[in-house]
Amino acid sequence: MLTTEKGVVEEWLSEFKTLPETSLSEYAENLKDKSTLVSSLYKVIQEPQSDLLEPVCHQLFEFYRSGEKKLLLFTLQFLPELMWCYLTVSATWKRHSTGCIEALLLGVYNLEIVDKQGHNKVLSFTIPSLSKPSVYHEPSSIGSMALTESALCQHGLSKVVYSGPHPQREMLTAQNRFEVLTFLLLCYNAALTYMPNVSLQSLCQICSRICICGYPRQHVRKYKGINIRIPISSEFMVQMLTGVYFAFYNGEWDMAEMALEDVLYRAQLELFPEPLLVANAIKTSLPAVAMQSSKEGKRCIQVEITPTSSRISRNAVTSMSIRGHRWKRHEQDDNSNDSADPGILVIPELSVTKVAGERAGNGEKSKALGENDAQHVQGVQETAPDPRAESKGLPELRRQKSVRRMMEDGLSPPSRGPL
């Protein structure tokens, strides 16, 4: 640690001690712009043998219990690095050098499990139903959801998950270690939108280191820190994935992608079903290319909303579809009638023309008869527009033409019977 960085930390420690309570809000507002102080505090935490570690942890705890939200968030941004320092020292059995870090973690935990009146808090979370739309999904895009009897019985009922009440802890042991750390990481994830990018980077690095230390993947990542396997719980890994997922869409794509692969690698080795499910779900939902997110301004997880036009299924039976079906049926009936009329009218016209053409060489009488026949057929067509009437008059027309042929040939026409 450089002398200048040490001087920055010492000045920060002395400044807060002499600060009046009336200036606390203004001090907290200006604290987030001191990037040099933040980087110096990270280096102090990363050196467990530093003389400044104990006063730094004490002042961070004073920030957390001061009641000022911005001071609370300032302490909370160092939580991933504090966890990593505690886990590495605990794995090497040098707990005497992390007493101040353990006290800080326990103090934050004991403050978060109670409300302002000192009663134990019970956190609740309502599991969303897939049958109701949200900013993450549309029910129509999932497919048809059959209304079974059991589904109807559960309609309108919401499943609520409760966490707590959590017991007070006086010290961290191997039995309750990850219970406390998981709850602290849950509190950190609840304030992810207020965390600076340096804190998100620290979170991704910590997740990778915890999952690969002591395994062959450590040599692949070329991490030269401790090579001792750090025990981990399934619930703690799920909370790590929550922060990693947020980092994907808030300017830390590369580091978050590496952390996701390492968490998935450790979950496969440990055969933890919950981290495997969450990690694979995150990996599947990621876009093909890295998201270019601004590191300034308000940050949030980006989601795609299904267009509202696709909410109605194409196969859904509506009033408009019924009307359209009726219109199509009427149009088909009209088209069939229109196509049938010209066929009936053309047949006699073509047959008469052919007959008249064949008999054109039999003299003037035959020509006159052909003209009379054509006029007769035209009169029939004009007086009988009904197709059924024309079909009835067609045999009579043929009989008259056959009689004319027999008269021309000198034969007597057959009698139709007595009148």
Higher pLDDT, 296 or 198: 198
Domain count, the chain: 3
Reading phi first (left if > 0) and then psi (alpha if -120 to 50, else beta), residue 115 is in beta
Asked if residue 416 has pLDDT above 70, the reply is: no
Domain boundary among 236, 261, 290: 290
Asked if residue 252 has pLDDT above 80, the reply is: yes
Whether residues 78 and 130 share a domain: the answer is no
Distances 92 to 85, 88, 96, 135, 227 between C-alpha atoms, Å: 11, 6, 11, 46, 10
Distances 262 to 92, 259, 348 between C-alpha atoms, Å: 22, 5, 88
Whether residues 102 and 126 share a domain: the answer is no
What are the pLDDT digits (tens) for 152-171?
555 556 678 887 788 888 88
Asked if residue 333 has pLDDT above 70, the reply is: no
Higher pLDDT, 281 or 405: 281
Mean pLDDT over 84-101 rounds to 79
**What is the structure's pLDDT at 337?**
53
Whether residues 28 and 73 share a domain: the answer is yes
Whether residues 99 and 136 share a domain: the answer is no
Q: Is residue 295 part of a domain?
A: no
Whether residues 89 and 202 share a domain: the answer is no
Whether residues 132 and 99 share a domain: the answer is no
Helical (H) or strand (E) element with 125: strand 123-127
Alpha helices in 359-386 (DSSP H): 364-383
DSSP string covering 147-206: --HHHHHTTT--EEEEE-PPPP-SS--TTTHHHHHHHHHHHHHHTGGG--HHHHHHHHHH
Structure tokens at 48: 């467990």
Structure tokens at 165: 């009440």
What are the pLDDT digits (tens) for 40-68?
999 999 887 888 999 999 999 999 988 88
Whether residues 231 and 137 share a domain: the answer is no
Asked if residue 5 has pLDDT above 70, the reply is: yes
Whether residues 64 and 129 share a domain: the answer is no
Q: Is residue 283 part of a domain?
A: yes
Instruction: Report the C-alpha gap between 210 and 205 in whole angstroms.
Output: 9
Q: Is residue 396 part of a domain?
A: no
Asked if residue 125 has pLDDT above 60, the reply is: yes
Of 56-70, 87-101, 264-278, least confident by mean pLDDT is 87-101
**What is the structure's pLDDT at 327?**
58
pLDDT class of 244 with cuts at 50, 70, 90: very high
Whether residues 65 and 132 share a domain: the answer is no
Whether residues 107 and 61 share a domain: the answer is yes
Reading phi first (left if > 0) and then psi (alpha if -120 to 50, else beta), residue 316 is in beta
Q: Is residue 190 part of a domain?
A: no
**What is the structure's pLDDT at 173?**
86
pLDDT class of 199 with cuts at 50, 70, 90: very high
Q: Is residue 178 part of a domain?
A: no
pLDDT class of 386 with cuts at 50, 70, 90: low
Q: Is residue 94 part of a domain?
A: yes
Whether residues 136 and 243 share a domain: the answer is no
Q: Is residue 388 part of a domain?
A: no
Asked if residue 245 has pLDDT above 90, the reply is: yes
Domain range for residue 212?
196-290
pLDDT class of 369 with cuts at 50, 70, 90: very low
Of 34-38, 115-119, 316-320, least confident by mean pLDDT is 316-320
